[in-house]
Structure 1
Amino acid sequence: MIENGWINYDIQRYVDDDGNDIGASTPTVNAARLTFRYVFREVRILGADYGAGVVLTYRDQVLRPEPGSGTDYHLGDTVITPIALGWHHNNWHFQTSYTFWAPTGEFEAGGSTNTGKGLWSHMLFVGSTWKQDASLPWAATFQARYETFGRQKITDIRPGDVLSLEFAFGKEIARGFNLGLLAARSFQVSRQSGTPGGNPSKYEINLVGAEGVWKPKAFPGAQFALRIGKEFDNRNTTEGFATLLSLAYAF
């Protein structure tokens, strides 16, 4: 599978640990991603399908920049999934995977055009999807991600671990066309360490949104998806409106 995704993140405000606007300038951030995933049909591990993938990112700055940072397009960090396992049983589908981020993006301590985190990170993922057995089915998905970070060699900062939860449900309203709603929550479960002057408070991100997915009959394997989301009640981070346009093709 090959996917090309474009992300637009319109930052509306920066908020402190109490959710108050700190009054910093609010830029708009754009990023692109190119994803390659492959399922090795001949390989089975623990009764599951085995797959692997890589994501290349290209962006004008980190998706959650510091207040007042500038913009300039550069290669971002590279995302590599060496192992992904999927199980299928009737209407239920389960997946788990291990992913790591390689620091290929630009990073300079205090830099205003950083496009990478300047460190390695690792993520564990589990997810489940239920799809109704019907001509125009309902479907629901739950996903959980846990990411842990290494230290930036330049600054000796180690970000706090992050847990992210996402739920979505929707219905195929016409052959090949799905509409749905989604909600997500991401928060640090430990504090950042190594920060000069003390460790900052943990951040929290909350989002609600909608999505539309179209799989045209004339192009089997093709998929077009549009997802929009509004953040609310965030803490110690940015808060804004995100849009994702995704074009994918499965061989």
Structure 2
Amino acid sequence: MNYFNGQGKKTDQLINPVPGNPTALQIEQKVITHSFILMAIYGGKGKILGANWGLMIIPTVNSPTANIALDYYSQQTGPGRYVFTNKSLGFGDMYVQPIWLSWKQGKFQYALNYGLWAPTGKYEHGSLDNGGHGYWSHNIRGALKYKPTSKINLSIAPTLEINQWQKNTDFKEGSHLTFDLGGSYVLNSRGDEVGLFGNYSKQVSDDKGTVGSFLSDQNAGIGAFGSYWLVPHKIGIMARITQNFATENRFGGVAFQTGVNFLIPAK
């Protein structure tokens, strides 16, 4: 990952524009993070409000190098330079989605979700090895999927993120609005699939408090993915790659993810 400033230019210099406290931090351009993400999804029986329903939980394990850079920057009181050699590994924040409703009508499918990021990752004010953000984050999401044929899926989903005050600090990150869209093609009766996707995220309200960077950020990305069933409808593998662009006041670059899927029948 690289850091991009408010003009969308790659830079080694982070500048805090808080009046009376013009802090700065020199960072190395090559910032690498590693994460292990376990996603568990349950599809419930019956209907709620005429909708299919489900639950999702995502615990994470992180090597939080990029977050270390931002945390160190936001807590500085003067100019400085720091080389991040810390390679800590620990539990990160956990995502829980207790409300997941989905309605189907002809070739269209609609969904309404509520989820939250719980601050389960280590967070201590001023620490350099934090694995979490130290605050609760609420996500309200709507989604629309259109299936023109049995093999093609098209979807779009806006998400509003609302954050709470950070633990033991006078800081509250602004809200973000994110749009995800994409399309996929089912290759065969096994369910193997390929697709393209894009996303755009924009901070829509200002940070609050007396600490933090107070820099409104945005990011966009495009990518491709593929999935393959090793054992049809039981065990599969997937991979995807994302290229970020239009990045401002945050880290951006190329992200590559791989995963293994296990489908456990309810019967």
TM-score, normalised relative to structure 2: 0.81
Does residue 232 of structure 2 align to residue 222 of structure 1?
no
Amino acid at match of 1:29: T
Query: What is the CA-CA distance between 1:131 and the residue it aligns to?
Result: 2.2
Q: Give the match for residue 6 of structure 1.
A: none
Q: Give the match for residue 92 of structure 2.
A: 76
- Aligned residues of 1:193 and 1:199 also touching (Cα < 8 A): no
Does residue 4 of structure 2 align to residue 15 of structure 1?
yes
Query: What is the CA-CA distance between 1:83 and the residue it aligns to?
Result: 1.3
Does residue 149 of structure 2 align to residue 149 of structure 1?
no
Q: Give the match for residue 247 of structure 2.
A: 234
Q: Give the match for residue 27 of structure 1.
A: 31
Distance change in 2, residues 1:211/1:72 (3 Å): same
Amino acid at match of 1:206: A
Q: Give the match for residue 123 of structure 2.
A: 107
Structure 1 vs Structure 2 CA RMSD = 1.9
Q: Give the match for residue 126 of structure 1.
A: 142
Distance change in 2, residues 1:223/1:60 (3 Å): same
Gaps of 5+ in 2: 13-26, 71-82
Structure 2: distance between partners of 1:240 and 1:59: 18
Structure 2: distance between partners of 1:62 and 1:164: 24
1:66 aligns to what SS in structure 2? Answer: helix
Equivalent of 1:41 in 41, 45, 57: 45
Equivalent of 2:109 in 90, 93, 111: 93
- Aligned residues of 1:62 and 1:114 also touching (Cα < 8 A): no
Q: Give the match for residue 247 of structure 1.
A: 260
Distance change in 2, residues 1:118/1:106 (3 Å): same
Q: How many residues align structurally?
A: 235
- Aligned residues of 1:71 and 1:112 also touching (Cα < 8 A): no
Query: What is the CA-CA distance between 1:140 and the residue it aligns to?
Result: 1.0
Give the helix-richer structure, 1 or 2.
2
Structure 2: distance between partners of 1:174 and 1:101: 36
Moved more, 223-232 or 175-184: 175-184
- Aligned residues of 2:67 and 2:130 also touching (Cα < 8 A): no
Larger gyration radius, structure 1 or structure 2: 2
Does residue 176 of structure 2 align to residue 162 of structure 1?
yes
1:81 aligns to what SS in structure 2? Answer: strand
Gaps of 5+ in 1: 1-10
Deviations 1:140-197 (A, max 9, x none): 111111111101132221000011111111322344322211111111101111134x
- Aligned residues of 1:164 and 1:185 also touching (Cα < 8 A): yes
Structure 2: distance between partners of 1:53 and 1:138: 25
Query: What is the CA-CA distance between 1:65 and the residue it aligns to?
Result: 4.5
Amino acid at match of 1:54: I
Structure 1: distance between partners of 2:213 and 2:60: 29
1:125 aligns to what SS in structure 2? Answer: strand
The higher relative CO (CA closer than 8 Å, separation ≥ 6) is in: 1
2:167 aligns to what SS in structure 1? Answer: coil
